Amino acid sequence: SKPPSNAGLGKAGAPWMMPRCAPAPVRGDPHHQRGRGYGGGGGRPPPTPPLVRLHNEIVGFARLMEPTAAELAERDAMVRRVTELALRTFGGKEHCEVLPFGSQATGLCLPGSDIDFVIRFFKKEDGGKEGGGDEQEEDGDCDPARSNPLHAFADAVREDFGVPGEFDAEDVLEIDGGNGSATTDDERLSYLEVIEHTRVPLVKFTVFPQNIDVDVCFDQPNGPESADLMHRFMESMPPLRPLTFALKYFLSSRDINKPFTGGIGSYLLQLMIVSFLQHRSREDASRGCGASGRHFNLGSLLVDFFELYGSDFNYVTAGISVRHDGYYFPKGAPDRREVFCSPRGPFTLAVENPLDVEMDVGAGAFRMQMISRIFGHAYKTLVAYVSEPALLSPEESVLARILPVSPEMEKRRAMKANEEGGEDW
């Protein structure tokens, strides 16, 4: 769970820092005005307060990691291809619907994030939609593709994309040319697996040369609906989007972001952030500071998030709900115990699914005790640097103390600069 070291970062700054040493501009952010009179003197501009530096870095990091227009086009093309393949395999729009969800639907995808799909078959009561009656539905129930959809779709993927081993790494480099210009004729599978013995059975595959990971599940509830819910939360909570980018990368860099290995998945993380912001807004409103979230300092919010889930939150007795503007509930209450008291032990994260109150979104995060310690260490690290500004030069990154910098980030910075005409990069 230890992230890669940033020891070689030096004083050149992190790739997400705006033009070498300059703070990232945030229109209308009153925190920039608070830098007046903070140190400085002698005719030199005053140094930026450390929490404002951290705020600017989070803004820059989200901007660096958000998908480019070319990446969005590439992912959209994959969505269309998988959708068309699924419809051909299972009888067309009269028999099923294919819906992307997760980060693909919310736009909160890091580079390399997978694309999640759910394929839903229409039930007998939808027979009118299918244009037939009971006889047609009975015939559909006998369809071997629908009776064993995992393997049927895996076979279709293998046939449509080509099996692994038909090309090697040198072929990929020649096809891709380093600019992601491969066509659908060049696409091949590099990985394919049917995962049956899990809470959510799915088909996983990776397509080269784009290296796009795709997960497909069947007849699962709430996936696209949860994406719609997150869109509404992002509209009402501006800090949610940049904090999600930073925290998703924080988890991913430590390999604690996969639910099937006990980590925190994207939906769970977003609900944790939403709950944190709900309670923080109420606290600010009670102090007369306003509760809109428009003037929140992202640096302060990130530090407080790590403090809450790294030391203050009572995982043993408390559960989280984001309904009704957010509240905590006792996990051991008679009407809650069966769903939210985990047999894995008392130190678990209980998070109510707002779309299905009888479902615990945090049930899969069985490594929460270790993750809480990681959050606590991140909190102490950030506090050390924001409370002692002299520890870092103005060119050095505060955020890079907890987010590992990779060579791909510099390449991404250059790609962004080229795409946006070099402005602010």
pLDDT of the residue at 46: 74
Helices (H), 122-222: 127-130, 134-141, 144-147, 149-161, 169-176
pLDDT band at residue 295 using 50, 70 and 90 as cut-offs: low
pLDDT of the residue at 389: 81
pLDDT of the residue at 130: 45
Distance from chain centroid for Cα 32: 28
Which residues is 205 bridged to in the sheet? Answer: 192, 214
What confidence tens digit (pLDDT) does each residue in 225-263 have? 999 999 999 999 999 999 999 999 999 999 999 888 899
What confidence tens digit (pLDDT) does each residue in 1-18 have? 555 556 445 445 789 886
Q: Please say whether the beta carbons of 176 and 182 come within 8 A.
A: yes
Q: Please say whether the beta carbons of 306 and 379 come within 8 A.
A: yes
pTM: 0.82
CB neighbourhood size of 215 (10 A)? 17
Looking up tokens 């997760």, which residue turns up? Answer: 102
Share of the chain above pLDDT 90, in %: 59
Mean pLDDT of all residues in 51-77: 94
pLDDT of the residue at 290: 61
- Token digits for 371? 């993750």
Instruction: Using alpha carbons, list the distances in angstroms from residue 89 to 54, 70, 135, 150.
Output: 49, 29, 21, 11
pLDDT band at residue 26 using 50, 70 and 90 as cut-offs: very low
Lowest mean pLDDT among 12-26, 189-203, 235-249, 284-298: 12-26
DSSP state at residue 195 = E
Burial class (CB in 10 A: 0-12, 13-18, 19+), 53: buried
Encoded amino acid at 326, one letter: G
Alpha-carbon distance of 312 to 376, in angstroms, equals 9
Examine the pLDDT at 345 and tell me if it is beyond 60: yes
Element (H, E) at 117: strand 115-121
DSSP state at residue 1 = -
Number of H helices and number of E strands within the chain? 15, 9
Lowest mean pLDDT among 32-41, 256-265, 370-379: 32-41
Q: Which long-range contacts (CB under 8 A, 24 or more apart) does 173-179 make?
A: 175/209, 176/209, 176/210
pLDDT band at residue 119 using 50, 70 and 90 as cut-offs: very high
Alpha-carbon distance of 157 to 55, in angstroms, equals 44
pLDDT, the chain, mean: 83
What confidence tens digit (pLDDT) does each residue in 142-183 have? 565 678 899 999 999 999 998 755 444 333 333 333 444 444
Examine the pLDDT at 25 and tell me if it is beyond 60: no
Alpha-carbon distance of 318 to 262, in angstroms, equals 19
